[in-house]
Amino acid sequence: MANKAKNINGGDPISLSAEADREGVDLSVKRGKRPTQAEDIKIAPGAGEHINKVHGWLSSIPLFLREVRSEFDKINWPTRKETISMAAAVLAISLFFSAYLGITDIVLSKLVGLFIRRG
């Protein structure tokens, strides 16, 4: 790798093109023209691994969504009547404890106030 960087930064064009020919790299630049066939596109060495990883990740999305759907089908959803009764129970318990804590707070505040005035 160090030789390649040295050749690219400081080498003469002849040695660059000879090295590129040996490695099968196309150094020609076609301005305004894009490759039209798959064989015209050159991929850097090692880039195939990254492309396969991305392709593997993207192709696993439909499988993931099918599995999520399958798991959702296994859920035992409550009926409307069960949902309403559970919500009513939560509301009643919440109101009871808020009233209890409110009354306890008022009573304790009055008691502390009495002790402070006497002292």
pTM of the predicted protein model: 0.41
Give the model's pLDDT for residue 59.
79
Q: What was the pLDDT predicted at 84? A: 98
* Tokens 């990883």 belong to residue: 53
Are 17 and 27 within 8 A, CB to CB? yes
Where do the domains of the chain lie? 79-119
Tell me how far apart the terminal alpha carbons of the chain are, to the nearest angstrom. 86
- 28 in Cβ contact with 21 (< 8 Å): no
CA distances from 11 to 5, 7, 24, 32, 44 (A): 9, 4, 18, 28, 20
What pLDDT digit, counting tens, does each position of 24-48 carry?
555 555 555 555 555 555 666 666 6
Per-residue tokens: 41: 């596109």
- Residue ranges of alpha helices (H) inside the chain are 2-10, 13-23, 47-74, 80-118
**Residue holding tokens 């009926």?**
79
**DSSP code at position 79:** P
pLDDT in tens, 50-107: 666 666 677 788 889 999 999 999 999 999 999 999 999 999 999 999 999 999 999 9
**By the 8 A CB rule, do 7 and 15 touch?**
yes
